[in-house]
Structure 1
């Protein structure tokens, strides 16, 4: 190669290097000063690049970091070059409810797009028509009427939970248990039975089913997958680097679900589970079996992990607030002479039980960060702020639920704020609480389909536990819920408590 050619080659390399260095700098400057979102408050580092957001997400501190940003910048904050987050109650209807003057805010494909090779589910279907069709097929299995038929199945597993905990409590006078796995066992077994007519037998064997254990790791992995999607080249490389063994695990996981669904679809006996209603719907219209399989695969996690998380949070707060626990125990034990008297119909009108659950939703929302939607083409307004089409928008439930702007003594677990005689009293400091801020099941056409089932599980499990046992915190072993990391869902830590069978059981029990 001649000297001239070498000189040209060197100059070309220098040029490429300069472009590689200069482009992200110019891009960052554009994002901060000239982007259509540049007038929205937020830290410049987050506005310049998606990297601070990704770093916070992968560390599991996103909801806490964004909460601090809202404290500093206000209810509307820019947390990425093309993303704005809201800690404002008006954001819920603006984003999630249909408006006659605007197109819908569709789910952000970065977070919701189906993995390659898998059919859409009720959660991943971005197209509104497809989502509505899947929801229409599943909806009859989650009505209050269906729940009445399913109630014996719920009692079966909650009673088994009580039996297993009683065995542990009788092992010694100072018995201690970690409540987290037991609550997970219960909700997984319930969704397995209601979903497939086939329990995971977690309670029966007092351990996680191998498949349910795998689900926990996949939730954390989803944060990495979503992060890579912001950079297509990195996503391409990541997908190429996935080992065949991991791909096989996913295939086996899907096949296991398919087998369970197929087995249930061929049951000859009638039973009141969710798939029984799907079977009836299939007689009226064609339903792709792939969508059924994928939907029930995702419902296994969505229908169990979130409920178990909230139960864990509530029990953690109750054990560490003995006065609240005693008030709840008195209400439950006063209203029911025996455990068999506890029914869903009787529980729905217990004021303090419902107050505890509502305060649990406020203090430990199972989905603390509501995943983003995209502003429709042509732009739209959220909370009075105009946003260009394509902007990712999210609602900060965790931040609002703990905001002094919305709740008196916002950082304290106080179920009394939800009692009618308290929030209805104009002289009460809680009378100005903005209870409508709490939207645990979301709003609009994509609101949680399983909210009746979730409320039934919450009421039944909490009431039967406090009816049957006396719980006590362990000195020096207090879990602070606010310190838990979040990877889409909350990474729970052990909740160790002292447990013993209740000291006073009526003779007729």
Structure 2
């Protein structure tokens, strides 16, 4: 119950009989629903009446993990501008990217419902809502994510991609038939988490070394659904308050131990005596006099570990899933990689060399489009004075979001939008008017967002995706599982803030002509 409702109840208690007060309280949700439908400032925005009347359909979709698919269907029915809650509007229109993330004046700040930091916790890059605080933290981290920094970090990345290929090779050779069927998804996670562990903390999580998830990462995956549930309760402060009070001490200790592992890693890295060109080195050697406090370093690097690893692994998993189900596309990419490189060595297959492979870039761009690592861009708030987005005037304080999943698969913007067609990203596709992809609105896809809060790690992500995919295709022959029942339909995956992945089974052999 809100503060206003509590005060109203106290007034009613003194003036009205108890039965009347109870009747008013019971009728309040119905009165509120009528207001939302007919008198709310957003009542003219298209959308289903049930979602406009109350937040409950939205929360149901969130907890079921079907929210991006449900909203995609609603966009197809009601159009690119959609009311998905009494006070919230979402967009599946390319112009919304600039108008929300690069407005001419007045930033759209993150919605505290989703982004506020937990009580008693330090500020991080992710939950720094105020622009000055965000800029301060980003400025300290940015030097570690530049192309120049990536060049110095390349040996670290190459080391773990080599280890990934070695481990997969050992797995194949252990089978008498020299062919295995494995779930490739965890292996991508092993590699990306180990890479970020070394770049961030000076030590990997040893996932590849042990061929299994580090307990810290396993706990992270298991907590994704819980995070969605906690986010849902924030729409009802009384429910959130009760939930927080009901968390058992044992679970709080698990959370603290989880965080302490990152604190220990940061502490060890900060005490290194040798110089190493990793991400943390730029934070340690900050000469501006405005370095980050240790508690902000701890929490920010914990968040970056997830943001810099899980998202990249998601794109690689989805891309490989599409490739094995489209042998012609897979063969085209294999031909390009093996035709360009005489070996898969670190000296030959460099990050600079990989950037120039057009079909590799096209395949990964298509993977980013169809396997959006963050399918639903969480809301920002319309700034004071209101704003106009895609021609619709919205009052200040309105949460607005962008549905990347829905927009990336919208036939209005992409030819055969639900099909895996890397050719749409080749340079000639946008230059030749006869190409079926000439009219594609490529600007609709902004996998790394835009503006002052765009993803700092996009250069690192591209480097990892190119190198991991190219190195594996150079060393191994991939194919779909013989049993089609084991094929994964990416569209069936649920979303709980992150994509809940299921096994991506692939057939794997050492390349025949190696």
TM-score by length of 2: 0.95
Equivalent pair of 2:140/2:291 in contact (CA under 8 Å): no
Aligned counterpart, 1:290:
295
Mapped to 2, the partners of 1:252 and 1:283 lie a distance apart of: 33
1:106-153 deviation digits (Å, cap 9, x = unpaired): 000011001122111111100100000000000000011110110010
1:412 alignment partner, SS class: coil
Which string of whole-angstrom CA distances, capped at 9 and with x for unpartnered residues, describes residues 341-389 of structure 1?
1110100000000000110111111000001001112211111100011
Structure 2 CA distance for aligned equivalents of residues 433 and 283 of structure 1: 45
* Pairs within 5 Å for 1:135-150: 135-150=138-153
Secondary structure at 1:295's aligned position in 2? helix
Counterpart check, 1:154 vs 2:154: no
Query: Cα distance 1:286–1:338, how it changes in 2: closer, same or farther (>3 A)?
Result: closer
Q: Secondary structure at the match of 2:478?
A: strand
Q: Is contact 2:478–2:508 with CA below 8 Å preserved after alignment?
A: yes
Quick one: which of 129, 133, 136 aligns to 1:133?
A: 136
Equivalent residue of 1:278, what SS?
A: helix
Q: Does 1:274 align with 2:283?
A: no
Counterpart-to-counterpart distance in 2, 1:150 and 1:20: 61
Q: Quick one: distance in 2 between partners of 1:480 and 1:177? A: 17
Tell me the CA shift for residue 283 of structure 1.
Answer: 6.5
- Residue 481 of structure 1 corresponds to 490
Mapped to 1, the partners of 2:103 and 2:306 lie a distance apart of: 27
Indicate yes or no: 2:508 matched with 1:499.
yes
- Over aligned residues, Cα RMSD in angstroms? 1.3
Matches within 5 A, 1:30-429: 30-99=35-104, 102-172=105-175, 173=177, 174-281=179-286, 284-340=289-345, 341-429=348-436
Distance (whole Å) between structure 1 residues aligned to residue 448 and residue 62 of structure 2: 23
CA distance in 2, matches of 1:162, 1:279: 33
Question: Does the 8 Å CA contact 1:168/1:177 hold for their aligned counterparts?
Answer: no
Deviation of 1:438 (Å) = 0.9
1:35-72 Cα distance to aligned partner (Å, 9 max, x none): 00000011111001000000000000000000011111
Q: Could you tell me whether the CA contact under 8 Å between 1:169 and 1:176 is conserved in 2? A: no
What is the rounded CA distance, in whole Å, between the counterparts of 1:411 and 1:483 in structure 2?
13
For structure 1, the 5+ residue unaligned runs are 1-7
Distance in 2 between residues matched to 1:24 and 1:176, nearest whole Å: 54
Q: Distance in 2 between matches of 1:158 and 1:336?
A: 16
Residue 428 of structure 2 aligns to a residue whose secondary structure is helix
Call closer, same or farther: CA 1:217–1:64 in 2, change over 3 Å: same
The corresponding residue for 2:453 is 446
How many angstroms does 1:259 deviate by? 1.4
Structure 1 distance, partners of 2:309, 2:292, is: 25
Q: Is the 8 A contact 1:176 1:498 kept in 2?
A: yes
**Contact persistence 2:194–2:204 (CA under 8 A):** yes
Over 4 Å off, 4+ runs: none
Aligned equivalents of 1:287 and 1:362: distance in 2? 35
State the match for 1:437 in structure 2: 444
Quick one: distance in 1 between partners of 2:222 and 2:395? 36
C-alpha displacement at 1:282, in angstroms? 5.7
Superposed CA offset, 1:440-467 (max 9, x none)? 0000000001000000000000000100
Distance across 1 between alignment mates of 2:356 and 2:513: 24
Q: Secondary structure at the match of 1:16?
A: helix
Tell me, in whole angstroms, the C-alpha distance in 2 between the residues paired with 1:235 and 1:290: 26
3-state SS, counterpart of residue 334 of structure 1: helix
Supply the distance in 1 between the matched residues of 2:54 and 2:222 (Cα, whole angstroms). 28
Could you tell me which runs of 5 or more consecutive residues in structure 2 were left unpaired when the two chains were aligned: 1-12
Q: How many residues align?
A: 495
* Equivalent residues of 2:160, 2:195 under 8 A apart: yes
Aligned partners of 1:380 and 1:419: how far apart in 2?
36
Q: Deviation per CA, 1:374-416, whole angstroms, max 9, x where unpaired?
A: 1112211111100011111000111111111001111100001
Measured in 2, the distance between the counterparts of 1:250 and 1:273 equals 27
User: Which residue is equivalent to 2:3?
Assistant: none
Give, in whole Å, the separation in 2 of the partners of 1:407 and 1:195. 37
Q: Determine helix, strand or coil for the equivalent of 1:499.
A: strand
Deviation, 1:218, is 2.4
Structure 2 CA distance for aligned equivalents of residues 286 and 404 of structure 1: 47
**Partners of 2:196 and 2:309 within 8 A in 1:** yes
CA separation of 1:240 and 1:226: change in aligned 2, threshold 3 A: same
Deviation (angstroms), 1:14: 2.3
1:457 corresponds to which residue?
464
Counterpart secondary structure, 1:53: helix
